[in-house]
């Protein structure tokens, strides 16, 4: 607990420096892109930025800070800058600086009907939904007090809910920022518990931001050379490799390839599912059975390949210690604010 608190305090001190470094890097990418045509010249000018971005998360000691910064910088920002170098994607050098940096580093998009709006008032609904997610997550954390008494697979199910709620909370926080900037939040989930197939789950319900960034950067180029199915497999392979990197940010352990195997397996199954669905007369399970079958397959393969690398490195225990440290800091800050107000 003391070690986690020290790491939290250290990372909070490092955060402003990291933000400034990212600001300078993205500003440089925007500036050089405005001077050079898309293609090799622009790509070469951005190479220093995309070389530095994957290193930045190692500035932090805490898993939460490394994981979130790794996702935003090494996945979203890096891939968007790669698209920019070839004149594709959401980024454009002509955008205002704040809009450009926000689009590059956050899961947001410009309003479809107009240019970025002026700062807006926060939606009460957004604030309330964020508070509800935070409350649900705090309730979930209380379950961890009985961790030793939980069945192994029940614990893994709790981890699944933990990941879902945590990502929703992080994105709700991003939504607050995007709304203040007059921008829209890129959706991350679309009721995954109503999925009817693996294709539906992976393409339209889970991790939608990643799907949106991998489609123009990986699927469309790969499709030209290897066809649609080759493009699908390329996307899942890339997703697996990027998740290996995300896991490395979390546990700082040598990748085992299990996470890549998890996504490649899902990619192969999506291809088989697509092939099966082509034949309209072939049997397909009704929705009432398709949903639990799909969720069961995702959960089963996650128990087999996705979670073991995290548990093996005791990453789950470190995460819980960090959560306890953050909650302690929030309580102490709240007491200080109440005390100073009296």
pLDDT at 49 over 50: yes
What's the whole-model pTM score? 0.86
Mean pLDDT of all residues belonging to the chain: 86
290 Cβ neighbours under 8 A, 6+ residues apart: 196, 197, 284
Rg (Cα) of the chain, in Å, rounded? 21
DSSP-derived pairing of the beta strands 108-109 and 184-185: antiparallel
Q: Please state the φ and ψ torsions of residue 52, each to the nearest 5 degrees.
A: -85, -35
pLDDT value for 114:
46
Q: Which has the higher per-residue pLDDT, 330 or 263?
A: 263
Q: 264 with 237: CB under 8 angstroms?
A: yes
Could you report the per-residue pLDDT of 116-127, keeping only the tens digit for each? 444 455 567 666
HEC per residue, 53-86: HHHHHHHCCCHHHHHHHHHHHHHHHHHHHHHHHC
Q: What is the dihedral of CA 287, 292, 298, 302, to 10 degrees?
A: 170
265 Cβ neighbours under 8 A, 6+ residues apart: 301, 305
pLDDT value for 332:
80
Alpha carbons within 13 angstroms on the beta-carbon side of residue 330 total: 8
pLDDT value for 176:
66
Helices 40-52, 2-35: inter-axial angle, 10-degree rounding: 170
Distance CA 187, CA 208 (A): 6
Q: 165 with 189: CB under 8 angstroms?
A: no
Q: Which has the higher per-residue pLDDT, 283 or 196?
A: 196
Domain boundaries, the chain: 1-107, 111-185, 190-306
């Amino acid at each position: 607990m003391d070690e986690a608190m020290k790491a939290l305090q250290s990372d909070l001190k490092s955060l402003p420096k990291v933000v400034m470094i990212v600001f300078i890097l993205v500003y440089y990418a925007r500036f050089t892109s405005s001077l050079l045509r898309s293609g090799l010249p622009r790509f070469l000018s951005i190479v220093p930025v995309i070389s530095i971005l994957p290193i930045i998360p190692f500035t932090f000691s805490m898993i939460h800070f490394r994981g979130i910064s790794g996702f935003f910088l090494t996945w979203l920002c890096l891939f968007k800058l790669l698209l920019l170098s070839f004149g594709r994607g959401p980024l454009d050098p002509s955008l205002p600086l704040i809009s450009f940096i926000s689009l590059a580093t956050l899961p947001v998009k410009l309003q479809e009907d107009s240019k970025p709006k002026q700062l807006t008032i926060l939606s009460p609904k957004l604030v309330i939904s964020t508070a509800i997610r935070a409350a649900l997550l705090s309730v979930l954390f209380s379950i961890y007090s009985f961790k030793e008494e939980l069945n192994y697979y029940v614990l893994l199910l709790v981890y699944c809910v933990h990941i879902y709620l945590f990502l929703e909370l992080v994105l709700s926080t991003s939504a607050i920022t995007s709304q203040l900037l007059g921008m829209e939040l890129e959706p991350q989930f679309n009721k995954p518990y109503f999925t009817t197939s693996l294709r539906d789950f992976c393409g339209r319900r889970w991790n939608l931001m990643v799907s949106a960034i991998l489609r123009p950067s990986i699927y469309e180029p790969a499709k030209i050379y290897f066809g649609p199915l080759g493009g699908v497999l390329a996307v899942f392979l890339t997703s697996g490799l990027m998740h290996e990197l995300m896991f490395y940010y979390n546990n700082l352990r040598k990748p085992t390839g299990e996470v890549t195997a998890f996504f490649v397996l899902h990619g192969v199954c999506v291809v088989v599912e697509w092939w099966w669905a082509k034949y309209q007369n072939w049997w397909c399970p009704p929705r009432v059975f398709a949903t639990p079958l799909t969720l069961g397959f995702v959960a089963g393969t996650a128990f087999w390949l996705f979670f073991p690398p995290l548990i093996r490195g005791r990453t789950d225990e470190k995460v819980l210690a960090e959560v306890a440290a953050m909650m302690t800091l929030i309580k102490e800050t709240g007491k200080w604010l109440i005390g100073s107000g009296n």
